[in-house]
Chains A and B, each alone.
Chain A
Amino acid sequence: GQSLEQPSEVTAVEGAIVQINCTYQTSGFYGLSWYQQHDGGAPTFLSYNALDGLEETGRFSSFLSRSDSYGYLLLQELQMKDSASYFCAVRDITNAGKSTFGDGTTLTVKP
């Protein structure tokens, strides 16, 4: 099975950089994904890491280290609109359609 751990809450100020960590235990997975969900909204796909290393998409970057069973989402130049919940997810290698989501990290950006 799969299990993922994320911090429940993170707070940062506008313009700062914040890192949201995700550690996982899995029997095998294709890659690590990140999703953003604003309050009252639906999760939206942010990024996917199939290989170790850093993937950059604008202000957001995501990192994966399979040897450490660890990944993170890095948000730079924080804006108020970045206040949301962020979920990491792994796609099961034995059940390739199926992803397991972490419990989510609530990011609060303060002025």
Chain B
Amino acid sequence: DAGVIQSPRHEVTEMGQEVTLRCKPISGHDYLFWYRQTMMRGLELLIYFNNNVPIDDSGMPEDRFSAKMPNASFSTLKIQPSEPRDSAVYFCASSSTGTGSGYTFGSGTRLTVV
């Protein structure tokens, strides 16, 4: 398996623009997570899905953020409109049901909003 695949690796956008981050989880994993990492706030869970269904989106900072998982092999995180404070590294991770299995993280998307 190629692991969790995220795109793009880097994104620079202007304030107010829409940003879409993409993620392909590991085949067979039934959990998908979106995390945001900054120096100030560390790793923050934004939202997670189980079997394509959103389970907990309490970490989504504002209505400007939305996430979808239309099928088991694809998820998107959208920010509209983007703001400079959204600048961070966004990680997608997937895991299987067994509680002993760890998360496999993608390489992340480094988002810079100017």
Contact = CB atoms under 8 A, between A and B. Distances in A.
Contacts of A42: 91, 105-108
A103 B102 CA distance: 18
Contacts, number: 53
Contacts of B43: 43, 87, 101, 104
Nearest to B91: A42
A97 B48 contact: yes
A43 B105 contact: yes
A45 B103 contact: yes
A102 to B, nearest CB: 8
B15 interface: no
Contact of A103 (B42, B45, B95): B42
Given A98-B48, A100-B45, A103-B42, A35 B55 contact: no
A46 B53 CA distance: 28
Interface string A73-98: 00000000000000100010001111
A44 B43 CA distance: 13
B70 interface: no
Interface in B20-69: 31, 33, 42-43, 45, 48, 50, 55-56
Interface of B: 31, 33, 42-43, 45, 48, 50, 55-56, 91, 93, 95, 99-108
